[in-house]
């Protein structure tokens, strides 16, 4: 098969490089690991064979994430939310209405977020060598510890782009020819500073909260002795995604096309060919924003009914204008309460923060609360426990404050949004205790 043509599409203001291979009966999007280079991958015989095999049974869409490979270099590190937008942009450009996603390593959390947020566009998930959380935690003992990552960053600073750069970690079984190619691949895929920054951001990724919201067929593939992502991380994914299948394979290589890739490809092909027709999706992951006016009762009494109604009309106009700006969707209103949803938590936070300044000319203080969770779709409305949690979070906010749940905080890693703990709260009517955080910079 000849090398595929590299094309470009725009995601926001960023050009994303992508390729389309094969003409199979369904679409498969490969979401790569922390760095990649489309054309350089095709120059390595084992890599070329791996992707050609995928293209033998699917219409394969591959891309380089923003900041890496042939895509635009960017200032700052992209968030999961931006990268999810890139997947959507590449699918649109490639003419794919609905596709299976193959999330490799770091590409797994992004694929999970996309599948939960856009189940109507996701036929199935395959997660290879991936994880829900990268870093160690007391309740996540198989993550990477800070001291381990510090040693890795030192090595990357000193060795990036040399023939043996990280090969003993990513592909211990590689031969000399592969090791020579690998150094060039690293240099073309990213600079050492960019690669280290991406891995630092990965240490903040935690999508464990959203795993129960995955409603598409899922296959988790992991090699038992690989050195980048422990097999326990794959087992955690399979145990917490409803109906997920787990495929453990022997091997030490994290790079998918090294080692016994044929057995893996056979199982992936069989799994994807067995996925049925699209199901109706009545549940979706969404970020819920509740906003209301602080001290509204006192303000209404002060103004009187007529002037209060006029002020409310102006308030609604400003809120709706900001919703359009941040791609939010109005769900409902009640009095001075406003309920909206977003397909990304960072946009929801920035919308809520922007509202504080936008409403200042009206001499209005608002309080806002955000939560990300699985919602029931009822026509144009959303319902369910996530909506109730969002309302309860907002009820805990002070005037002029934007409060978020821990789930929201975890999903905006790398966004530059800063938080301050507001302690642990019991939310009325909601089981458990909830850590809440105030947005201090958005």
* Sign, CA torsion 125/113/104/36: positive
The CATH number of the domain covering residues in 283-441: 3.30.70.1230
Rounded to an integer, what distance in angstroms lies between the CA atom of residue 442 and that of residue 420? Answer: 12
Asked whether this chain's domains 7-273 and 283-441 adopt the same fold, the reply is no
Regarding pTM above 0.95, the answer is no
- Rounded to an integer, the average pLDDT of 231-250 is 97
**Token couple for 421:** 């703990």
- Residue 282: what pLDDT? 84
Instruction: Give 147-163 pLDDT, tens digit per residue.
Output: 999 999 998 999 898 88
235 has a pLDDT exceeding 90: yes
pLDDT band at 278 (very low <50, low <70, confident <90, very high): low
The residue written with tokens 């990300």 in the block is 372
CA dihedral 246, 178, 110, 274 (to 10 degrees): -40
Mean pLDDT of the chain: 93
pLDDT digits (tens, 9 = 90+) for 346-368: 999 999 999 999 999 999 999 99
**Looking at residue 438, what is its pLDDT?**
97
pLDDT band at 279 (very low <50, low <70, confident <90, very high): low
- DSSP notation for 294-315: TTHHHHHHHH-HHHHHHHHHHH
Domain boundaries, the chain: 7-273, 283-441
Give the count of beta carbons closer than 10 Å to the beta carbon of residue 151: 11
CA distances to 95, 141, 219, 244, 273 from 124, in Å: 18, 29, 8, 10, 10
pLDDT at 1: 58
Confidence at 276, pLDDT banded by 50, 70, 90: confident
Most confident of 55-59, 81-85, 204-208: 55-59
* Residue 390's pLDDT band (cuts 50, 70, 90): very high
Q: What is the mean pLDDT of residues 112-136?
A: 95
Average pLDDT over residues 80-93: 93
Q: Which residue has the tokens 């919703």?
A: 323
Q: Which of 152-166, 273-287, 304-318 has the highest mean pLDDT?
A: 304-318
On whether the 7-273 domain is CATH 3.30.465.10, my answer is no
Percentage of the chain beyond pLDDT 70 is 99
């Amino acid at each position: 098969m000849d090398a595929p043509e590299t094309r470009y599409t725009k995601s926001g203001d960023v050009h994303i490089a992508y390729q389309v291979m094969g003409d199979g009966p369904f679409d498969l999007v490969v979401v790569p690991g922390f760095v990649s280079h489309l054309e350089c991958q095709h120059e390595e015989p084992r890599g070329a064979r791996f992707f050609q095999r995928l293209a033998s049974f699917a219409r394969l869409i591959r891309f380089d994430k923003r900041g890496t490979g042939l895509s635009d270099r960017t200032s700052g590190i992209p968030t999961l939310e931006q990268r999810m937008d890139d997947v959507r942009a590449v699918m649109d450009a490639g003419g794919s209405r609905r596709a299976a996603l193959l999330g490799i390593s770091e590409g797994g959390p992004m694929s999970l977020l996309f599948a939960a947020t856009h189940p109507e566009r996701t036929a199935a998930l395959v997660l290879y060598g991936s994880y829900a959380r990268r870093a160690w935690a007391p309740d996540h003992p198989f993550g990477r510890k800070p001291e381990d990552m510090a040693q890795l960053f030192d090595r990357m600073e000193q060795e990036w782009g040399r023939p043996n750069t990280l090969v003993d970690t990513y592909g211990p079984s590689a031969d000399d020819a592969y090791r020579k190619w690998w150094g060039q691949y690293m240099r073309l895929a990213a600079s050492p500073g960019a690669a280290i920054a991406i891995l630092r951001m990965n240490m903040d990724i935690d999508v464990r909260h959203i795993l129960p919201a995955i409603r598409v067929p899922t296959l988790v593939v992991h090699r038992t002795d690989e050195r980048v992502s422990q097999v326990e991380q794959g087992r955690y994914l399979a145990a917490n995604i409803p109906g997920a299948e787990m495929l453990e394979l022997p091997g030490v290589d994290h790079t998918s096309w090294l080692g016994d890739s044929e057995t893996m490809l056979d199982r992936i092909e069989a799994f994807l060919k067995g996925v049925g027709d699209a199901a109706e999706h009545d549940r979706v992951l969404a970020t819920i924003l509740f906003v209301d006016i602080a001290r509204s009762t006192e303000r209404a009494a002060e103004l009187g009914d007529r002037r209060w109604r006029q002020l409310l009309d102006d308030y609604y106009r400003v809120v709706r204008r900001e919703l359009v700006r941040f791609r939010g969707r109005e769900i409902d209103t009640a009095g001075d309460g406003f309920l909206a949803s977003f397909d990304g938590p960072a946009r929801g936070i920035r919308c809520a923060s922007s509202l504080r300044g936008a409403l200042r000319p009206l001499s209005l203080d608002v309080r806002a609360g955000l939560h990300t969770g699985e919602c029931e779709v009822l026509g144009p409305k959303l319902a369910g426990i996530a909506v109730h949690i969002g309302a309860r979070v907002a009820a805990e906010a002070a005037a002029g404050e934007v409060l978020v749940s821990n789930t929201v905080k975890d999903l905006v890693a790398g966004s530059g949004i800063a938080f301050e703990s507001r302690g642990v709260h019991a939310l009325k009517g909601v089981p458990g205790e909830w850590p809440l955080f105030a947005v201090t910079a958005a």
